[in-house]
């Protein structure tokens, strides 16, 4: 006869076993567990805790982040062939020329509309809540007079540079673009090759298409290997982030962080509302299917790194392969509404730090520049900072205050990547019926 205490011990053991099986069979649960553990360890190693010397904590953080670096390197290794073969295959399977044009035009319209709307939301929130007003004067303003004069900072220079910018989209040396990892050039080249393939006799391009299909399968298989590292990558990257940043930095500029997070939350809600109204995909269904994908995007801060997972998620939402393989790679490269919103808040935050009040004309110029800079920005961590410095410098806004926001940029990068990936999925769901009958979403 089993004793009551033994029965309780067996029951606890069974519950632990079920919990372990549940976690080990669900990637999103592993990611959440890794994120929580990494956050806790990062707090213990942070300078504020005082348990470990800063030099030792930094060294430990480097080793903890090693699985994350390997994960990102594996994804980056196959990113170019994956994007190229996905777009070419997607264009080939998109159907007739009319259907292909319909997908392209609707996707371009979606990207342009949502990016402009996101930048406008960021400007409105920053102008309303004034996150930098309390810290005005913190940053030096050597160019204050030039910006405060009421004249946009050389808009003609931007117009003169526009033709060169458009012409520069065409990769004159595709090999160099591939070697340098210029994803926008790779996307343009893939679009040109894919469209050309659809206009050539099928028998002549059959070997090339078979090669693209094989390349896509091989790349996805390598990605599957990399996904085994995902929980460890999340754990290490989160631990290193919290160790380096600490809670004090986040609390110190909580106003700025709060405005960005509010804007991103509104944009995410807008995406889910669009999916509900125009595609019949409810918020709960969307989050249930895409939750793991969004968590992985949060932890890696790279829409490009999670692109293979995003394609799989789009398929689970009922998106045909031809649409998913075309829309998601393009979206991971060009659909950066979350980044545009963040940059709009950040650029006005920098101006407020310097005590500069931008005129409506200047805000329009800044917003337009940020929209153009966001579309096509590489979907990798840290790129937004480079864009932000360039735009601020071009508009005469002092960038000395950049050091204030650098401490939390990684956190905000993680959050805006979630919104960018959600936007890619919503775009794919909206276009899923353009070239193929509607498929039943997988629960």
Distance, in Å, from the CA atom of 305 to the CA atom of 296, rounded to the nearest integer, reads 9
112 within some domain: yes
Specify the pLDDT at position 406.
Answer: 64
Question: What are the Cα distances from residue 1, in Å, to 8, 9, 11, 14?
Answer: 14, 15, 16, 19
353 within some domain: yes
340 within some domain: yes
Distance, in Å, from the CA atom of 182 to the CA atom of 17, rounded to the nearest integer, reads 47
177 within some domain: yes
The more confident residue out of 337 and 242 is 337
Distance, in Å, from the CA atom of 409 to the CA atom of 119, rounded to the nearest integer, reads 18
Q: How many domains does the chain have?
A: 1
439 within some domain: no
CATH number at residue 263: 1.10.3860.10
Q: Quickly state the pLDDT bin for 250 (edges 50, 70, 90).
A: low
Q: Which domain holds residue 356?
A: 18-430
Whole-number average pLDDT of the chain: 76
**pLDDT for 347-385, tens place per residue?**
898 888 778 877 788 788 777 777 766 665 555 555 566
Q: Please compute the mean of the pLDDT values over residues 418-428 and round it to a whole number.
A: 94
94 within some domain: yes
Highest mean pLDDT among 3-12, 171-180, 299-308, 322-331: 322-331
CB 240 within 8 A of CB 42: yes
């Amino acid at each position: 006869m089993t004793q009551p205490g033994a029965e309780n011990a067996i029951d606890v053991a069974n519950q632990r076993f079920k919990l372990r099986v549940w976690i080990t069979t669900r990637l999103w649960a592993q990611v959440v567990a890794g994120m929580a553990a990494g956050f806790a360890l990062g707090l213990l190693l942070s300078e504020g805790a005082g348990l470990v010397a800063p030099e030792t904590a930094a060294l430990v953080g480097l080793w903890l982040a090693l699985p994350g670096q390997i994960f990102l390197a594996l994804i980056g290794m196959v990113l170019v062939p994956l994007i190229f073969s996905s777009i070419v295959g997607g264009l080939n399977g998109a159907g007739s020329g009319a259907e292909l044009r319909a997908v392209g035009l609707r996707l371009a319209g979606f990207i342009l509309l949502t990016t402009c709307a996101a930048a406008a939301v960021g400007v409105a929130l920053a102008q309303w809540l004034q996150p930098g007003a309390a810290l005005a004067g913190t940053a030096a303003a050597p160019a204050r007079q030039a910006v405060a004069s009421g004249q946009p900072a050389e808009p003609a220079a931007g117009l003169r540079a526009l033709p060169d910018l458009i012409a520069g989209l065409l990769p004159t040396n595709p090999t160099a673009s591939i070697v340098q990892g210029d994803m926008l050039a790779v996307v343009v080249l893939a679009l040109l090759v894919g469209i050309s393939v659809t206009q050539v006799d099928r028998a002549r391009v059959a070997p090339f298409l078979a090669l693209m299909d094989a390349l896509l399968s091989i790349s996805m298989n390598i990605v599957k290997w990399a996904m085994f590292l995902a929980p460890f990558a999340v754990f290490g990257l989160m631990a290193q982030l919290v160790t380096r940043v600490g809670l004090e930095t986040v609390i110190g500029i909580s106003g700025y962080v709060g405005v960005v997070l509010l804007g991103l939350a509104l944009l995410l809600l807008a995406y889910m509302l669009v999916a509900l109204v125009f595609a019949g995909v409810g918020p709960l269904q969307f989050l249930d299917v895409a939750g793991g994908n969004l968590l992985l995007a949060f932890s890696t801060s790279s829409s490009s790194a999670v692109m293979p997972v995003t394609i799989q998620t789009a398929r689970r939402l009922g998106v045909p392969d031809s649409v998913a393989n075309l829309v998601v790679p393009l979206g991971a490269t060009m659909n950066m509404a979350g980044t545009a919103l963040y940059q709009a808040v950040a650029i006005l935050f920098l101006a407020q730090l310097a005590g500069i009040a931008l005129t409506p004309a200047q805000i329009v110029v800044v917003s337009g520049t940020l929209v153009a800079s966001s579309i096509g920005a590489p979907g990798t961590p840290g790129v937004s900072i480079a864009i932000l410095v360039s735009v601020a410098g071009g508009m005469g806004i002092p960038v000395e205050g950049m050091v204030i926001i650098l401490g939390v940029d990684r956190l905000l990068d993680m959050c805006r990547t979630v919104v960018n990936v959600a936007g890619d999925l919503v775009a794919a769901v909206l276009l899923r019926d353009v070239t193929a009958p509607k498929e039943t979403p997988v629960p």
